[in-house]
Structure 1
Amino acid sequence: MTENYTALYEEHKKLGASFTDFGGWQMPLKYGSELAEHKAVRNAAGIFDLSHMGEVWVTGPDAAAFLDYALAGKISAMAVGKAKYSLICNEEGGIIDDLIVYRRGNEKFLVVPNAGNAKVVAEALVQRAANFDVAVEDVSAETSLIAVQGPKAEGILLRLVPAAQHELVTGLKYYAAVEVSFLVGGAERSLLLARTGYTGEDGFEIFVENDDATALWQSIVAIADEGELTPCGLASRDSLRLEAGMPLYGNELSLEGDPFAAGLGPVVALSKEGDFVGKAALAAKKEAGAGATTGRKLVGLKGLGRRAGRGHYPVLKDGNVVGEVTSGQPSPTLGYPVAMAYVDVACAEPGTALDIDLRGKAEPFEVVTLPFYKRSK
């Protein structure tokens, strides 16, 4: 697989990061203690490099109608300035990727797919655009993305924003975005600031051109007080998103899975006018009771012991295999093991006692409602 490096790679090396391959990118796994990074986000703030994510602009008179056709959600119903979580599916209803769409104008949208799927999603959008008056531009290679997540994130970023624009930041709702001026390396830069994230905490994601990414990262780190902001890698991002019950493509979501089994039925707008890619197959899956009365359903599992289940470990009921773990590890915040797993719908009711087969030893778990962790507002 080709190794890609973000514009912040040298910055991570200076900070002593341990690297790992993720979606073909060399990304920081952790800088020191992944537990300390996790707790920093829950209690103060963490800064993440998410530049491996994709960015695809969709513009033109038919942009909204095109995205209604290309994606599973009703994108045309979005207000300008808002963001929406959606799915791009194939004709069989399989999930190509989960992504976020930002509406930046009546005819202007930014689609942000996952790292390993960015090229596939961009190509699928180009193919689906054939009969629409739209332009699809993949700017992933020129764009960096920096996230600041945690209860102190807003306060830190406000120090880099002119006082006249503070209300743009403090008034920004969850799943919304706005252009804001940031002081970056001594110069003002107008950047797209989104109140989105993947940690279960309040936080922001900032889109910036590669040339300004290092200066922005350094400016954010420099403006934070001692101990207020911690550089965080993929390890803590994974434990944070698991506690928040957020699916990861390749674990909870895949081409073989379907949105209804994954609990993402509300994301699929079967009632929107006109056709969309995968509509017939998805309607048939829903009609057949996928994730409700047939097949398997994604659930949360709370460990009653100390040992954690991991991805692909079998889930048992009375010694019989009834499911499989997709993600699992000890929860740093809650102090007990947590996992997400697909289990037979008959075993999916909260309170159901199940076991995870930990290499030949059955460890007790209980089905619980997701998310495991929800921040107090």
Structure 2
Amino acid sequence: MTEDVTADPTTADPATAPTTDRTTPLHEEHLALGATMTGFGGWLMPLRYTSDLAEHRAVREAAGLFDLSHMGEIELAGPGAAAALDHALVGSATAIAVGRAKYSMICAEDGSVLDDLIVYRLADERFLVVANAGNAELVARELRERAAGFDTVVADRSAEAALVAVQGPRAEEIVASLVAPGDVEAVRALRYYTSAVVTVAGVRALAARTGYTGEDGFELFVAAEDAVALWRAAFAAGEAHGMIPAGLSARDSLRLEAGMPLYGHELDTTTTPYEAGLGRVVRLDKTDAAGEPVDFVGRAALAARRASEPARVLVGLRGTGRRPARAGYPVVLPGADGAPGTPVGIVTSGAPSPTLGHPIAMAYVTPELSAEGTELAVDVRGRAEPFVVVPLPFYRRG
């Protein structure tokens, strides 16, 4: 999961970025650290603090500190909360155990993706849905409409909450040093996609072992008024471990290496989960607590799409040259004398990989060209740059 962008975070120019009047509770902290700010999903967010490369490498080698307070937080509570989410989303909320989380999507009736989400089950009758910044209001509205008739209350908590993430191989050490002594073991015991309520830097937080960087890490949900205290404490505790603050540019290159989709790039309202290689999150056979089949918004269209040959498939591309592909560049057949040949797809995300040392990209191509090892090219400003189809993700920790 990730954010709906208003500007490509790898290339955004703050001087020309869209103006916005929405800032997170940590805005002054970013300015004090000298961050370059940019418009993103309707918010003014840090693009970088020092250099994209330094921030990216810090997360891969030690840790990075991120402000994710622009994300949307929507709560569903009541006896019908699980059933409402089963109807609203493509996944099964009923199957999520308390303290666990699942990646899911909210789709339109035609099966297209309105947003990708993380759903946390906080209690038997209480869930937290985390939506992308640019889609938060849409998701809250859709959930309210789809929950009508179910015994649940849908509340948009986005304005009340802040989200700080510590990501990287030293994240556990840093977060464990911040929590109350009685919560240390609870933090260390958290597995991937689990959460627990703990005291961090003296404030109450939902600590989730989740993230969007391809590394170990924690996302810490706190009340908006506690964000500054948490940020400063984490910043101070992390310095000895090599942690530095990281902006949107590093977050984008990290998630690209990890092969994670970005809404507005790999996912949008022209795409279903199947084209994106995420059909596994769709539960066409889901049942309710009584074991009865569950219908959900978009089910019929998604069932039909699963049974048919896709017109395009999302693949990973490894550059064998030096020039990177960027979002929107055409994927083409290799032409003669370096000229682009027949268009066969489109790049959705692309950049040089700081970790791997060569260009990488994700792209939609026709199915017959999606096999691993297929040699393709990308039209980079009129020249066919060589790429080869490779499995996703490009990078896997450990």
Which interval holds the TM-score relative to the shorter structure?
Answer: over 0.9
1:340 equivalent to 2:362? Answer: yes
Deviations 1:68-114 (A, max 9, x none): 10000011101100000000001011100000000001110000000
Question: 1-side partners of 2:271 and 2:239: how far apart?
Answer: 44
Which among 357, 371, 374 is matched to residue 379 of structure 2? 357
Find the aligned partners of 1:347 and 1:182 in 2 and give their Cα distance: 49
TM-superposed deviation, 1:359? 1.1
> Counterpart of 2:13?
none
The question of 1:58 aligning with 2:58 is answered no
Is the 8 Å Cα contact of residues 170 and 241 (structure 2) preserved in structure 1?
no
CA distance in 2, matches of 1:178, 1:129: 26
Listed one character per residue, the Cα deviations across residues 11-31 of structure 1 (whole Å, up to 9, x for unaligned) are 000000001100110000000
Cα shift at 1:147: 0.3
Separation in 2, partners of 1:308, 1:299: 16
Mapping of 1:1-377 within 5 angstroms? 2-183=20-201, 188-226=202-240, 228-272=242-286, 273-290=293-310, 295-318=311-334, 319-376=341-398
Count the aligned residue pairs. 368
Residues of 2 paired with 1:341 and 1:35: CA distance?
Answer: 23
Deviates more, 1:79-88 or 1:2-11: 2-11
1:96-152 CA deviation, whole Å, 9 max, x = no partner? 000000000111000000000000000000011111111000010111100000011
Structure 2 distance, partners of 1:157, 1:78, is 25
In 2, distance between residues paired with 1:274 and 1:224? Answer: 46
Deviations, residues 247-282 of structure 1 (Å, cap 9, x unaligned) = 000000001111100001000101112210000011
**Structure 1 vs Structure 2 CA RMSD:** 0.9
Paired letter, 2:234: I
Partner deviation per Cα, 1:159-194 (whole Å, 9 max, x = no partner): 1112322110111000011011122xxxx2221000
Q: Which amino acid aligns with 2:198?
A: V
> How far apart in 2 are the matches of 1:274 and 1:202?
34
* Counterparts of 1:269 and 1:35, CA distance in 2: 39
> Secondary structure of the equivalent of 1:103?
strand
Task: Compare 220-229 and 307-316 and name the one that shifted more.
Answer: 220-229
User: What CA distance in whole angstroms lies between the structure 1 residues aligned with 2:363 and 2:147?
Assistant: 36
- Residue 226 of structure 1 deviates from its aligned partner by 3.8
Deviates more, 1:225-234 or 1:142-151: 225-234
Cα deviation for residue 227 of structure 1 reads 6.0
Q: Return the offset for 1:158.
A: 1.1
Return the letter of the residue paired with 1:96.
Answer: L
Structure 1 residue identity aligned to 2:301: A
Q: Bigger shift: 24-33 or 216-225? A: 216-225
- Distance across 2 between alignment mates of 1:97 and 1:159: 35
SS in 2 for 1:255: coil
Q: CA offset at residue 302 of structure 1?
A: 0.2
Deviates more, 1:59-68 or 1:156-165: 156-165
Partner amino acid, structure 2, of 1:111: V
Check conservation: 2:238, 2:244, Cα contact below 8 A: no
User: For residue 281 of structure 1, what is the amino acid of its counterpart?
Assistant: A
The 1-side partners of 2:296 and 2:78 are apart by 19
Gap runs ≥5 in structure 2? 1-18, 287-292, 335-340
The one-letter code of the counterpart of 1:89 is C
Instruction: Indicate conservation of the 8 Å contact 2:174/2:238, yes or no.
Output: yes
